[in-house]
Homo-oligomer: A and B are copies of this chain.
Amino acid sequence: VKAERFPVSGRRIILRAKPNGLPKAEDFACETAAVSEPGTGQILVRVDWLSIDGFMAGRLKDQANYAPGVGIGQTMQAFGVGRVVLSGTEHFTVGDYVYGPFGMCEWALMEASPEVKKLDPSLGPPRLHLGMLGISGWTAYVGLFNVGVVRPGETVLVSAAAGGVGAVAGQLAQIGGARAVGIVGSEEKVALATSKFGYAAAISRHDSDFSNRLSAACPNGIDVYFDNTGGAIYDNILDRMNIHGRIVVCGRMANAALADSRQDIGPRDHNDILVKRLRKQGFIVTDYSSDFDRITRTLAALRAEGRLVLPEDIAEGLPNAPGALVRLLRGENLGKQLVRIGTET
């Protein structure tokens, strides 16, 4: 099957230098490269939207991670949604909306592997599959309910509460009958978290009275800490964890600037873990992929009922993708950070 116009070249974002601390836009370059026609078993995707996520910082480091990193000169990794424009496989048809690890590029030549998923347009605009109906939504759901085992009446504390995952987590915790409290990076986000994301209370981590405000916001202690950041704030939270509490280790945004996470030094937590019988557990959302279809339908139904929202922070055009990542890692985004590549809404 052939599309009407075949592009001979397209832009992509490559890694120019390993970041020293937090990545900067100058660590990346935008270059134009020829795009090949798909061979047998391959598809060519016109990328419409990219998702910008915290895990990307880890892919830029030399330290071992759960997935391979990005080498110098390679296309920066990213998940995206787009349309199939050429197909060398019966599994995809030209015009299909798809989601996959396309990387930061305008055109992606992909193997038709299980990593590339056909989207159901009836659930909403395709870009929702990068946020509320995709990684952000799945991560919030799995972290709260599969890993944290949140129960009605419990207090759930979420860090990075105004980010893509945190915004969904606050709403889902409340939908699950719990009381959600958020930690955010600015007073502007405090207002957003409490007015839009279902948080009963929110506190800026820069608040000079952080410790007392945290106590006031959690009068019954903390049953589940959904940790998107790590870092020094953890010690303060450990103090307030209830017996049999759960600490869900979802992200390490506070370490994004460190070359090696072992530079993040603090008191070892064994005493609190033991005395309070805490369970601290890390998770990678893709380990739960067999559950994604069910979770997606649940989230789409909540959205249709108007019970779940996720504001988007949109950067325009592929060349602005590195800047969007820098914004995210600095905590400057409000809601789900996306990059619009094409003209699709």
Contacts and interface: CB of A to CB of B under 8 A. Distances in A.
Nearest to A244: B287
B266 A273 contact: no
A286 to B, nearest CB: 11
A267 interface: yes
A185 B284 CA distance: 36
A296 interface: no
B279 A279 contact: yes
A265 interface: yes
Contact of A261 (B63, B243, B262, B267): B267
The SS class assigned to the A binding surface is: mixed
The listed residue with most B CB atoms (<10 A of its CB), out of A227, A231, A283, is A283
A124 interface: no
Interface string A244-268: 0000011110010000011111111
Q: For chain A, which range describes its interface: under 10, 10 to 19, 20 to 34, or 35 or more residues?
A: 35 or more
A191 B264 CA distance: 38
Contacts of A227: 270
B262 A230 contact: no
The listed residue with most B CB atoms (<10 A of its CB), out of A66, A270, A271, A283, is A270
A120 B68 CA distance: 58
A281 B279 contact: yes
A332 to B, nearest CB: 23
A275 B234 contact: no
B270 A230 contact: yes
A280 interface: yes
A276 B267 contact: no
Contact of A282 (B65, B263, B275): B275
A265 B267 contact: yes
A251 B275 CA distance: 9
Contacts of A230: 268, 270-271
A252 B268 CA distance: 11
B267 A262 contact: yes
11 contacts: A66-B243, A66-B277, A235-B262, A263-B267, A265-B268, A272-B282, A273-B281, A274-B284, A277-B282, A279-B282, A280-B281
Given A230-B271, A249-B273, A274-B284, 20 more contacts: A64-B275, A66-B243, A66-B275, A66-B277, A227-B270, A230-B268, A230-B270, A234-B270, A252-B271, A261-B267, A263-B267, A264-B268, A265-B268, A270-B282, A273-B280, A275-B282, A278-B282, A279-B280, A280-B281, A281-B281
